[in-house]
Structure 1
Amino acid sequence: MEKRSVVRASTIAGAVMVALGMAGCTSDDASNESDDSPVTFTLFSADPHSQWDNMESPVSQKVMEETGVTLQPEFDVNGGEQKIALMAASGDYPDFILPKGSASTLVNAGAFIDLTDLIEEHGPNLKKAYGDYFNRLKWSEEDESIYILPTSPIDHTYWEPGNGFMLQHEVVKELGYPDIRTVKDFEDAIRAYMEENPTIDGQPTLGLSLLADDWRIMISTTNPAFYATGAPDDGEFYIDPDTYEATMHYRRAEEKEYFRWLNHMNDSGLLDPESFVQKYDQYLEKISSGRVLGLIDADWQVDDAERALREAGKHERMYGMYPVTLTEEYKHPNFQDTGYLGGWGIGISIDNEDPVKAIQFLDYLVSEEGQILQNWGLEGEHYEIVDGKRVIPPEEMEERNNNANYVKETGIGVLKGFAPAYGDGVEDSTGQTFTIANTEQIIDSYTEVEKEVLSNYGIEMWKDLYPQEDEFPVKPWGAAYNIPVDSTSDLNVIMQRCLDIVKRKVPEAILAAPEEFDQIWDEFMAELEGAGVEEAEKEYTELVRTRVELWND
């Protein structure tokens, strides 16, 4: 997710699990009553969870005490698509499923129950939390069932950028705090520092390291191409804001020039030569060593490495987040508003023998008590009440900031991502925010090195460097990657062909000799056309237009 330092620690489950999902219950089940005996629900998540506590932490134990529910999860490390397809084929399902973008496979297989009546009868906190956004929970215009409860934070205020170009504090400090606005600025800073510091702690200094490990190639290698050319995150497509026409984003001329720049970085010796062969754990280990000067990534993907640097006292080797674009004509759209996102979330399967207890469990997690518990922890153990307000003692805040296993040990944030949650800035009945994140807490959580860097740039927070939310229109389709695609559609087959080409041709283009780049890029475009990209664009255009109509009903 989008926060840094203390905010990252308190919301890590959402960051690590990037957009988890769960869904449904039939109207026949809604009238069933649940008994009070403890129950263990199985759960499948299409994302990993590096801080899972086996429900043994103090916070998870409290949740079990209040709900009678224990979770027995399986976390997939490969995005879940294969295992979800096997589930649908076998007809054998865990109690809860968080399918990310594969929900349509399960809906078409009849795996989820419609949650509409369950929410009406047993989900008062769910109804309150979603409020005016209930329209966005409908599956489609043809089927208005609620199969998925979206887990995106509700009415979230973004105080920190989640995406950008990351540069070590020591780099900008040694260079006198230069402007880091374009890819050339970023490149120049890395080159200048490497020339003066060929090694760090006895190891060769690395300029820019990218990650291309399976689906993570999108986060570190390909998604930045649209951010750097002024386009928001709509997955594999660029959506024309006026016509809603979808174009696979690699086919934009601007992005070709971004990848040409990466080719230049490789040719200049500034790109980590292991970028396209290293695994995720190797990437994190390399960053944790402190010898990687620059990254282009989402903050949640490198959270563990950043915490390791902080825990090791290597504060100067931690990173600032800069709104770098290809040239100054573009504005980095990190803060463009999507409105509330339906789509990805959590569902209840037809094999769940106690859907009432299941929905009550999710309802508890989004209740005021459940939200405070997940964000603040236990009163007297993780926070105190002072003058009627929750206050985290300094020593506890120090633990939040510096203990890499804080989430697992306390349980704070472990279950975030399994249910709807209120976003930063939303207030509870006492007028205090549900999450601990606010501008004062964020600034207090920065290391002294980070505060020094920010001060020298004349700002208090990283967000201050970025174009602000009010500089962009709200996207009426939300985020295109979040739109369910019918699993029986040819679009899935075409997109898989296209993505296989992307994973092969983008690294090839970046690693090629500069004089070969144009030829390889032309081959890339031709292969996409041969794979049916134009047909995919037409179908995706219709999906976007249909969503706009559905959400505006």
Structure 2
Amino acid sequence: MRKLLCFVFITMFLSILVACQGSDDKTSSEEKEKPSTESSSGDEPVTFTVFDSDTNPDWVEEMDTPIGRKIKEDTGVTLDPEFDIEGGQTKIPLMVASGEYPDLIVSKGAGQLVDAEALIDLAPLIEEHAPNLKKMLGDGINRLKWSEEDPSIYVLTTAAIDNQAMTPTYGAWVQHAVVKELGYPELRTLDDLKNVIKEYKELHPQIDGQPTIGLTMNTDSWRIQASFLNSGFMMTGAGDDGEYYVDPETYEATLHYRRPIEEEVFKWYNELNAEGLLDPETFVQKSDQFDAKLASGRVLATIGPDYMMNSGQEALREAGKTERMYGVYPVTLSEEYVNHSYQSIGLQAGWGISITEDCEDPVRAIKFLDYLASEETQIMLNWGIEGEHYEVVDGKRVIPEEEWEKRNNDKDYLKKTGIGYNFLRFAPRYGDGVLDSTGQTYTVNTREIAIKNQTDIEKEVLAAYGVELWKDLYPSAEEFPVKPWGAAYNISIPANSELQGLNQRALDITKKLVPEAVLAKPDNFTNVWDEFMTSLENANIEKAEEEYTKLIQEKVELWSN
């Protein structure tokens, strides 16, 4: 009897033990699926690996700059980033295939990452641990929801919030020396631009002993879209929605090249080329070659976004060639159209930073991003460290003249200090014109400071055109409605979807045939353009337009709720 009781007791004990073990296994599995809301590492030093889909020539290893060291001192966090020149187009799919990810990913469209369940939902982390992010995002956080079916927040925007940019984001860039010598001609249309380039080039076939280049553009890799191809809609009164034009009334999407009016824009380039005014290397040069040409002072004009001008402008200023620096003009195909650079897209959603499932301490990660979004840190990232990069005089931040000299003339200033986009790129940030709790702007890009930092010839040129800043030449944000769909290029497309394949095919055709049309003999331009349109139709572009229209309309509905 005692043997039987002993057997029963042992059996019951083992059953309970197995049940407890099974419960523990289930709990462990659930905990793995749902990130902990408690930080496991306290304030101990930690390194977060980051994949950034953009390049950053100003990054310093181990964050060894005044700003980087202060961030490490405040947070104990060191970032170990990998930067990409392809926008993540190759490396992110490789991550998905391997199932291995860095702690943080800055992506330009996270569809395939979400489909692979590589990203965690940031909503509960923000709610519990990120008061600065909640304050900065405000009601705009609604735009960060992934979809109607899945309201999770997988991507935290890294765009400027409520930005009132002092520098126009897109336009025709023309040397100050050119407009000054020609008596400050009107620069409103593409024909105006061509006439100015032609006249000055005939007067000066060489600059500093080198052949003068009328107009060149940065078409290296993805930049061909941001500069050359985007000019199709920027010159015809549309805002930047990537490869598509979105009807503001119906939200219907059309591959923007298929708008008949855009043919006239690219025909203008064809005419420019035929007259020897377009750089023959435009479609084959690399980005650093483009920068070098601008820095040489022999390029009279270019067309594109403001960020592609930074390297060339800084090099010219540092070399003392301020007359060869560029002003930016809201040139369009004709006066019928106006530049939409200042049309607001609202809070930008779709591109930004995410925390991956491989991050061992997501709470520490979100707290770090929240630190970057705090008022004190935002001021530091823009102004620098008090007593080292700026002073406080009568309660106001003041940058000394010698420090302005470094900011304006030392092309390595950001790299040496860590100020600016080095860290601002990893979290949302306050835009130009936004005021802090003291009533001062977070950024140094105020109207007053922008005017103060102009070169003498820049002030002279602007005065001749009757304005104080280049933005004064442009239609203001108040003249346009806020886009209810944001920016179409931010809308994530399902990974490995038919739409993704159709879009890639259309882009491949575009990159081949649009440059071919521009470089064709004028009497053959229309034939090549017609081939372009036919090739798009044969590639089933109408199906892509239908699918993209659905995504845009769904996004508008989601954000309106």
Q: Is the shorter-chain TM-score for this pair beyond 0.5, marking a shared fold?
A: yes
CA drift of 1:409 comes to: 0.3
Counterpart of 2:517 in structure 1: which amino acid? A
Q: 2:224 aligned to 217, 230, 238, which one?
A: 217
Aligned to 2:480: 472
Matches of residues 301-340 of structure 1 in structure 2 within 5 Å? 301-340=308-347
> Cα 1:305–1:468, aligned 2, differ >3 Å: closer, same or farther?
same
CA drift of 1:34 comes to: 3.6
Determine the C-alpha separation between the residues in 1 that align with 2:289 and 2:178.
Answer: 23
Runs of 4+ in 1 over 3 A off after TM superposition: 25-28, 31-34
Aligned to 1:257: 264
Identity of aligned residues (%): 58
**Which segments of 5 or more consecutive residues in structure 1 lack a partner in the other structure?**
1-24
Is 1:449 the counterpart of 2:457 in the alignment?
yes
Counterpart of 2:419 in structure 1: which amino acid? I
CA drift of 1:210 comes to: 1.7
Q: 1:38 aligned to 29, 32, 45, which one?
A: 45
Determine the C-alpha separation between the residues in 2 that align with 1:550 and 1:121.
Answer: 24
Aligned to 2:254: 247
Secondary structure of 2:392's aligned partner: strand
Secondary structure of 1:357's aligned partner: helix
Quick check: 1:27–1:118 contact (8 Å CA) kept in 2? no
Is 1:128 the counterpart of 2:135 in the alignment?
yes
Aligned to 1:516: 524
Cα distance per residue 1:459-502 (max 9 Å; x no partner):
11111111222222221111111111111321100000000001
Determine the C-alpha separation between the residues in 2 that align with 1:338 and 1:137.
Answer: 14
Aligned to 2:490: 482
Is 1:275 the counterpart of 2:282 in the alignment?
yes
Determine the C-alpha separation between the residues in 2 that align with 1:466 and 1:36.
Answer: 48
Is 1:70 the counterpart of 2:78 in the alignment?
yes
Determine the C-alpha separation between the residues in 1 that align with 2:281 and 2:33.
Answer: 50
Determine the C-alpha separation between the residues in 1 that align with 2:433 and 2:99.
Answer: 42
Counterpart of 2:153 in structure 1: which amino acid? I
Aligned to 1:372: 379
Aligned to 1:531: 539
Cα distance per residue 1:24-47 (max 9 Å; x no partner):
x97542244442110111110111
Determine the C-alpha separation between the residues in 1 that align with 2:297 and 2:282.
Answer: 16
Kindly tell me the number of residue pairs found equivalent between the two proteins: 528
Quick check: 2:37–2:363 contact (8 Å CA) kept in 1? yes
Determine the C-alpha separation between the residues in 1 that align with 2:503 and 2:35.
Answer: 37
Q: 1:266 aligned to 262, 270, 273, which one?
A: 273
Q: 2:433 aligned to 416, 420, 425, which one?
A: 425
CA drift of 1:339 comes to: 1.4
Counterpart of 1:498 in structure 2: which amino acid? A
Counterpart of 1:266 in structure 2: which amino acid? N
Counterpart of 1:171 in structure 2: which amino acid? V
Cα distance per residue 1:10-36 (max 9 Å; x no partner):
xxxxxxxxxxxxxxx975422444421
Quick check: 2:167–2:306 contact (8 Å CA) kept in 1? no
Secondary structure of 1:415's aligned partner: helix
Secondary structure of 1:302's aligned partner: helix
CA drift of 1:436 comes to: 1.2
Determine the C-alpha separation between the residues in 2 that align with 1:26 and 1:546.
Answer: 28
Counterpart of 1:77 in structure 2: which amino acid? I
Q: Flag the structure with larger Rg.
A: 2
CA drift of 1:211 comes to: 2.4
Quick check: 1:237–1:247 contact (8 Å CA) kept in 2? yes
Quick check: 1:26–1:113 contact (8 Å CA) kept in 2? no
Aligned to 1:404: 411
CA drift of 1:216 comes to: 0.8
Q: 1:91 aligned to 93, 99, 103, which one?
A: 99
CA drift of 1:159 comes to: 2.7
Aligned to 1:152: 159
Counterpart of 1:129 in structure 2: which amino acid? M
Counterpart of 1:486 in structure 2: which amino acid? P
Aligned to 2:28: none
Aligned to 2:6: none
- Name the stretch that deviates more: 29-38 or 245-254: 29-38
Determine the C-alpha separation between the residues in 2 that align with 1:155 and 1:276.
Answer: 35
Determine the C-alpha separation between the residues in 2 that align with 1:50 and 1:550.
Answer: 38
Determine the C-alpha separation between the residues in 2 that align with 1:541 and 1:229.
Answer: 21
Determine the C-alpha separation between the residues in 1 that align with 2:217 and 2:434.
Answer: 35
Aligned to 1:416: 424
**Which segments of 5 or more consecutive residues in structure 2 lack a partner in the other structure?**
1-31
Determine the C-alpha separation between the residues in 2 that align with 1:50 and 1:311.
Answer: 18
Aligned to 1:12: none
Matches of residues 47-58 of structure 1 in structure 2 within 5 Å? 47-54=54-61, 55-58=63-66
Cα distance per residue 1:522-548 (max 9 Å; x no partner):
110111111111001001111111111
Task: State the TM-score, normalized to the length of structure 2.
Answer: 0.93
Task: State the TM-score, normalized to the length of structure 1.
Answer: 0.94
Quick check: 2:383–2:389 contact (8 Å CA) kept in 1? yes
Aligned to 1:5: none
Q: 1:341 aligned to 330, 335, 348, which one?
A: 348
Determine the C-alpha separation between the residues in 1 that align with 2:475 and 2:114.
Answer: 39
Secondary structure of 2:312's aligned partner: helix
Determine the C-alpha separation between the residues in 1 that align with 2:226 and 2:154.
Answer: 27
CA drift of 1:275 comes to: 0.4
Quick check: 2:39–2:364 contact (8 Å CA) kept in 1? no
Cα distance per residue 1:67-90 (max 9 Å; x no partner):
101011110111211100000010
CA drift of 1:299 comes to: 1.1
Aligned to 1:7: none
CA drift of 1:215 comes to: 0.9
Q: CA RMSD in A?
A: 1.1
Matches of residues 429-440 of structure 1 in structure 2 within 5 Å? 429-440=437-448
Cα distance per residue 1:67-114 (max 9 Å; x no partner):
10101111011121110000001000001100112x111111111111
